[in-house]
Amino acid sequence: MNIAPNRRKKQADQDSPLRLSKSKSRKFILNDSTKFVINEAYKSARTNIIFALSTAEHRIITFTSSSPAEGKSTTCINLAIALAKMGEKVLIIDSDMRKPAIHTYLKLSKQKGLSSILSGMCTVAEAIDSDVRENLDVISSGPIPPNPAELIASKNMAELLAVLEKHYDYICIDTPPVNVVTDNLLFNGLSAGTIMIVRENYTRHPDLQRALNSIKLANGKVLGFVKTGCVPEGKNGYYKKGYKYNYNYNYGNSSDHHTQHV
């Protein structure tokens, strides 16, 4: 019996930053010590996002994945940081009010946040964490409510985004995995579209196809794909020795999303 592949997969899961606790995963948020190749990968993804939204009515982007542990929240934060580095005013909203992560990654409180605003418990100004990074503000999830889907689908959510759009160049919204709950689909019509996160050697094609079918049936738009957890294939020591975790970005037209490589 050949067990080597299973051993390699187990070791890969143990080594992956996506398998670490949220507190330990903070080191994978972009900062001054982030490796060059990772910064460049996010810059490349940022460029594709800018082009994708150049003719869009909204500059609101939702981030999702087919399943948990695929790097969705980390990618949302890092792309928001990359956009903010251009001098754009950017807002992150954590709409995953069942299992929020943004506040943990960025060391923020979720005592007041999105759920507080939508339920009328506080004002928008009271819930915003300003200048978390230069040009970057954050609205955390807030206390976990009993009815997250109803809050997102409410008139208050649409009105909130309409107000926020007047003050920010880009709004990045972290949403739960599509195959777990359908909260992401509730932003159809309110956002330019969604970015789907897939993880190398982890995301299953049937799960991804199921997620894409759900988005299509809800008349949603997939702006593109971000592949995380990539291992560099080249033998060049510049990449192989210095950068254990590489992030690869693959964007395509939503009409041919089924052809994207995972």
Q: Is the pLDDT of residue 15 over 70?
A: no
- Retrieve residue 103's tokens: 């506040």
* Domain ranges within the chain, ordered by starting residue: 41-192+205-220
What is the rounded distance in angstroms from the CA atom of residue 245 to the CA atom of residue 37? 9
Q: Give me the amino acid identity at 230.
A: C
Kindly report the number of other CB atoms within 10 A of residue 110's CB atom: 22
pLDDT for the residue 26: 73
Overall average pLDDT of the 125-152 stretch: 97
Cβ contact 114:127 at 8 Å: yes
Q: Which residues contact 49 (CB under 8 A, 6 or more apart)?
A: 61, 79, 83, 195, 223, 224
Task: Please say if the pLDDT value at position 44 is more than 50.
Answer: yes
- The kind and range of the H/E element at 127 are helix 124-127
**b or e along 58-69 (b: 16 or more beta carbons within 10 Å of the residue's beta carbon)?**
bbbbbbbbbbee
- Residue 259, pLDDT score: 28
The DSSP code for 28 is: G
Reading the block at residue 214, the tokens are 């759900």
Is-contact 141 115, C-beta < 8 A?
yes
Report pLDDT for 58: 95
- The three-state secondary structure class of 231 is coil
| pTM for the structure as a whole | 0.82
With the C-alpha atoms ordered 73, 100, 120, 134, is the resulting torsion angle positive or negative?
negative
CB 140 within 8 A of CB 113: yes
**Residues 138, 130: Cα–Cα separation, whole Å:** 7
DSSP string, 55-124: T-S--EEEEEESSSSSSHHHHHHHHHHHHHTTT--EEEEE---SS--HHHHTT---SSSHHHHHTTSS-H
Q: What is the pLDDT of residues 75-113, one digit of tens each?
A: 999 999 999 999 999 999 999 999 999 999 999 999 999
189 pLDDT above the threshold of 80 = yes
What is the structure's pLDDT at 7? 39
Whose CA is closest to 173, among 103, 95, 112?
95
Q: What is the pLDDT of residue 27?
A: 77
Decide if pLDDT at 32 tops 80. yes
| CA distance from start to end of the chain | 28
Query: Could you please report the per-residue DSSP string of 144-211?
Result: PPS-HHHHHTSHHHHHHHHHHTTT-SEEEEE---TTT--GGGGGTTTSSEEEEEEETTTS-HHHHHHH
> Is 194:221 a contact under the CB 8 Å cutoff?
yes
CATH code for the domain defined by 41-192+205-220: 3.40.50.300
- Express as a percent the part of the chain with pLDDT over 90: 76
